[in-house]
Amino acid sequence: MLRRPEALLVLNDATVFAGEAAGVLPELGIATGELVFNTALSGYQEVVTDPSYAGQVIAFTYPHVGNYGTNPDDDEARRPFCAGVVVRDLVATGSNWRSRRGFEDFLVDNGVPAITGIDTRRLTRHVREAGALPCAMGIAGAEAVAAAARSAPSTTGRDLVSQVTIERPTTRPGGPRRVVVFDFGVKETMLRHLSGLATLTVVPASTPADEVLAMEPDGVFLSNGPGDPAPLTGPVTAIAGLLGKVPIFGICLGHQLLGLAAGGTTYKLLFGHHGTNHPVRRLATGTVEITSQNHNYALEAGSVPGASVTHVNLNDGVVEGIALEGAGAFSVQYHPEAAPGPHDARYLFERFERLMASGVPRRGR
């Protein structure tokens, strides 16, 4: 039986959880980040490699993690950007015909800190009451870990997108149209879906509007990404410069940035939406979609001038979708590519295709 060193997880409200160290801890034996919980029953590799978790420590509510191993086809980014992983039971040996490597080996290979043996039920109940809190975990002793937790950063006010975006534009061949993808932390599965519609030019988050328009795209996609949208003034300015000139589809952080570019405001949720089972009502039809979500911030209801709300979260009433009909733009807060998760919302790709086919808007090109 594998013997692991004892470790502590300490939240910055001084709540302490005892467990065992796993993965790779930094040289000082302590890792820090903002703790959130994810309710997905599977898809742990896709979750860990989602760039939207930059700056965050992911606690999995499902007790057994790693049971089917990992394989390169399920990576959603070039590497994990999360600050750490918390689990109840880290399975030593994955068992699945697709598996190429165990989950802990995957964490070690990618330098991801982890802690196992944590009472994640108690931890989740605490975060639901106290909110997503900065935390520290490690083997450096109770006082050192507690001190690190007190000084650990939250995601509020931080530009985390600059840590995950690409450095220079890249092209991905695909369908007959041309789409520019803003990489705020885009996932591989999203690019696969979009490439079914168009040849993609993936650009850094800092790309200005005039450079995008010079590419003469049929549409612009605003991707998911990590953290607080408020400090991302450059992307907001770029999106504002594209509104009304080219069809726009945004998801997750891209949804929030579209709202900010149109004059709206955002706020931080208590513990965010992280999982694959969030019910969302599509207001146009009354149907309920089960959705995959990963975000800590949201658009303030009624704050976006001229926007119609298209989707609403049935758990807490959060705005899950908007449309700016006059500008040829729409967005949703959740992940229609669903990796992992249900496929209820994949019709949104068809909606984007119809918007691009309509030829509206095309002003200023």
Structure tokens at 120: 């994640």
Write out pLDDT tens, residues 186-234: 999 999 999 999 999 999 999 999 999 999 999 999 999 999 999 999 9
C-alpha to C-alpha distance for 169 and 98, rounded to whole angstroms: 32
Q: What is the pLDDT of residue 362?
A: 56
Q: Read off the pLDDT of each residue in 146-168 and give the average, rounded to a whole number.
A: 97
Predicted confidence (pLDDT) at residue 363 exceeds the cutoff of 50: no
210 exposure class (CB count in 10 Å sphere: 0-12, 13-18, 19+): exposed
Mean pLDDT value across the chain: 95
What mean pLDDT comes out for the span 85-93? 94
- Please determine, for residue 365, whether its predicted confidence score (pLDDT) is greater than 60: no
pLDDT confidence bin for 1, thresholds 50/70/90: low
Tokens of 56: 């965050």
Indicate whether 294 pLDDT > 50.
yes
> Which pLDDT value is given to residue 338?
87
User: Quick one: CA torsion of 85, 251, 303, 128, rounded to 10 degrees?
Assistant: -20
What pLDDT score was predicted for residue 360?
67
Distance (Å, whole) CA 328 – CA 307: 11
pLDDT beyond 50 at 287 = yes
Residue 103 has pLDDT above 80, yes or no: yes
CATH numbers and ranges of domains, the chain: 6-151 (3.50.30.20), 161-358 (3.40.50.880)
By annotation, the residues acting in catalysis are 252, 335, 337
Query: Does residue 341 carry a pLDDT above 90?
Result: no
Question: pLDDT of 251-269, one tens digit each?
Answer: 999 999 999 999 999 999 9
* pLDDT single digits (tens) 4-62: 899 999 999 999 999 999 999 877 789 999 999 999 999 999 999 999 999 999 999 99
323 alpha-carbon distance from chain centroid: 21
pLDDT of 303: 97
Q: How far apart are CA 190 and CA 187, in angstroms?
A: 5
Query: What DSSP element (H or E) covers 239?
Result: helix 233-242
Q: What is the pTM of this model?
A: 0.95
* 85 pLDDT higher than 70: yes
Cα gap 339→204, rounded to integer Å = 22
Residue 342 confidence (pLDDT) above 90: no
Q: What is the pLDDT of residue 325?
A: 87
